[in-house]
Amino acid sequence: MMHGMMDGGMMWGMGLIWLLLLVLLVLGIAALVKYLFGGRRG
């Protein structure tokens, strides 16, 4: 029982970390695109 719960908690934690990395990646790409296009315009 405890082993199963521990595995579930680890999976949930990993998912949370992946979600955080994905958000950071998307924000980074958006900032890079905005910077590139904004730099060319201005």
Q: State pLDDT tens for residues 23-40.
A: 999 999 999 999 999 887
What predicted TM-score, i.e. pTM, was given to this entire model? Answer: 0.60
Q: Which residue has the tokens 């695109």?
A: 33
Start-end of H helices in the chain: 2-41
Q: What is the dihedral of CA 34, 35, 38, 42, to 10 degrees?
A: 170
CA separation for the pair 15, 9 (Å, rounded): 10
Reported confidence tier of residue 11, pLDDT bands at 50, 70, 90: confident
What is the Cα 22 distance to its own chain's centre? 2
